[in-house]
Amino acid sequence: MMTGSGPASAPHPAIQCENLTKHYNGVPALEGLTLRIPEGSIGLLGENGAGKTTFIKLVLGLLRPTAGSARVLGYDVSRPREALELRRRVGYMPEDDCLPPDYSAFDLLVRLGRLSGLPKETAVQRTHDVLHLVGLGEERYRPIGGYSTGMKQRVKLAQALVHSPRLVLLDEPTSGLDPQGREEMLDLIREIRAKMRLSLVLSTHLLPDVEKTCDRVIILRAGQLLAQGPLQELVRGVHEGVAVRIVGDRGAFLQKLQERGLRAEERGSEILVYAPSPPSQAQDDPETVYDIIVEAAAATGAQLRRMERPSRSLEELYLELYGEASG
Amino acid sequence: MTQHQQPEGKIYDLGYRPYEGRYVARWAAILGLMMEDLRRALGAGKSGKYKVLVLLVLMIELGIFLFFLLTSQLADAFGGGPGIPSWLVNPFSGFYSSIGLVLLLLSALIVPDLVCNDRRYRVYPLYLARPLYVHEYLLMKGLAGIGGLTLFALGPALLLFVGKAFLAPDALLYVREHLRDLGALLAAGPVLGIFYGSLALGISSLTSSRTYAAGAIIGLLFLLGLVSGMLLFLVGERWVLLVDVEDYAHQVKNALFGLMEPIEVSVMVQIEEDVVREEGVRLEPYSPWVYGLGTAWVVAVSWAAAWLRFRKEAL
């Protein structure tokens, strides 16, 4: 399993799971999931049957775990009372079409807002606000049955936001949308994230959606955790070192790096420079590693032509992890 | 505007703001939405077709109401007597008996509309993602349906009582003399509402189609009535009375009015090997407790079925 660093030890994680397990009639849907995710935007990735929906239902407190525990925003989801309180503070946008055609978006949102505990007047006011925010201000009194797919997705998003949640769970929010609609929905999610300062979990199998909207990622496969951590670090591969290309005395350059405590090895025309293992606090800092490389080049008179961390796309990471897991 | 007056105005910012106020109690939210569901069940915010159907049922009920008001006034005018049927002597019980079909039709209209659509259009998960238990969801929907049916039963019956009181020579005397009827009337309306509403809820929970649910509600009660009638004709025994479950609630209503009377039925009697004859038989109804328990059993089974179905769907 791959685990990125980052503020995992923050005092109030959005989601914290310890050995979270869910079986349906003995069949494992989620197996021993241990996570500690700080607030932010989190992409939940995995193929069909990976356990994404089970994870969301557990996080919402709709399912009781077979084993293990989960705390969301500090609430223990296995305790019914706490799960109820949690659901006041969590918004959920299901993947399926789930809107009654004979209701207007306005009526539906007021209703759901009130059910979340908002006073009636507040629910009405917030419904206006949220429907404007998602771009349905002009259409709010029309029956939902006459809406396009894109408008329905916006209503689904709006109902997840109307009660001012701290965490929003979005299950395939771009499902069924054309490319333009998809871009608009992703822009909307980014805008909402910025304006509302809330945490969101985006469950999808569309990797570009996660790349565009999330700063952390959880990758599941067959109910097991394959990887989790900050997206940038996972795709960059923080421990894989820095690729350096120089023109000059390679031997002296390598020796200088080793003197400064960095491990380096030649790979073709490049030199891969690693932070020491176990890493010291200072030398593990990427900026410090870059500084040492620059200093070593200067000291040995080498010309520095390239210096960067080898990175890959999320898709490459995903395929790599799935390939490893498949043996 | 004088020089000292400043123009006044408010700026409403249509932007998103986090809510930092207090949340209302869950029971208050559920009660509020139950009342909203009740309004919708009676036609508010519904399609024109739905409103017409509710109005149609209301017109039928109005016709029954006027019939009982006029006939009972005529019976009073002619002084009553031993030959007058009980439904004329006590028009309130008779009215409740006559609106059985109205309540059945109404339950088949409003309860499936409250329950089936949420499953058909998968709105149900949206409710459960809120602070709401499955049984609270069911209470919200079921009580809205029962409330609507009770309103349709109790409202005109109360109006009938008030009408009779005002048409009597001394309204206060009429009320004093008919206090027992008033009590029975106030109790019987909810009994019928709970019975029809619960049964409709149980049946509606088995399907996500409003049409199938409505058909099943009407079909089941008609079928049981038909089977009961046929068995009475063929067998002629008292236990057959219990086959017609719709009769349970009406017998409870009769008991409340103190009008439990023997039931006259035609029975096929075999005289000789090849000769059968139709004979009239009077069957004594069971004790009110039997019908009370029967009504409670139907209500309990219906709610349990609905709870099990919706709980399964929630997981």
pLDDT confidence of residue A9: 39
Selected residue of B12, B14, B16 to mutate for chain A interface (largest A Cβ count, 10 A): B16
Sign (positive/negative) of CA torsion B136, B138, B143, B145?
A: positive
Q: What is the mean pLDDT of residues B292-300?
A: 97
**Which residues of chain A neighbour B133 with C-beta distances below 8 Å?**
80, 84
Residue A325 has pLDDT above 80, yes or no: no
pLDDT confidence of residue A285: 61
CATH number of the domain located at residue range(s) A2-235 in this protein? 3.40.50.300
In chain A, whose CA is at the least distance from the CA of B128?
A62
Residue B219 lies in a domain: yes
Q: What is the mean pLDDT of residues B47-52?
A: 92
CATH 3.30.70 for domain A238-308: yes
Highest mean pLDDT: which range of A7-11, A55-59, A299-303, B296-300: B296-300
What residue numbers bound the domain in which B149 lies? 26-314
pLDDT confidence of residue B73: 86
Question: How many separate domains does chain B show?
Answer: 1
Q: Which residue(s) pair with A23 in the sheet?
A: A28
Query: Domain-by-domain residue ranges, chain A?
Result: 2-235, 238-308
In chain B, whose CA is at the least distance from the CA of A60?
B129
User: Bigger pLDDT: B232 or B303?
Assistant: B303
Residue A240 has pLDDT above 60, yes or no: yes
Confidence class for position B10, pLDDT limits 50, 70, 90:
low
Considering only CA atoms, which of A57, A51, A58, A52 is closest in space to residue A17?
A58
**Which residues of chain B neighbour A192 with C-beta distances below 8 Å?**
16
Q: Which residue(s) pair with B265 in the sheet?
A: B281
**Which residues of chain A neighbour B26 with C-beta distances below 8 Å?**
84, 117
Sign (positive/negative) of CA torsion A282, A283, A289, A294?
A: positive
Contact assignment for B14 to A164 by CB distance below 8 Å: no
Residue pair B91/B252 in contact by the 8 Å Cβ criterion:
no
Highest mean pLDDT: which range of A33-37, A138-142, A317-321, B135-139: B135-139
Considering only CA atoms, which of B197, B184, B281, B292 is closest in space to residue B242?
B292
Q: Which residue(s) pair with A169 in the sheet?
A: A92, A201
Considering only CA atoms, which of B287, B303, B118 is closest in space to residue B195?
B303
Determine if the peptide bond prior to A278 is cis (ω within 30°): yes
Residue B302 lies in a domain: yes
A98 Cβ under 8 Å from any chain B Cβ: yes
Sign (positive/negative) of CA torsion B170, B92, B88, B294?
A: negative
Residue B233 lies in a domain: yes
Residue A232 has pLDDT above 90, yes or no: no
Residue pair A44/A204 in contact by the 8 Å Cβ criterion:
yes
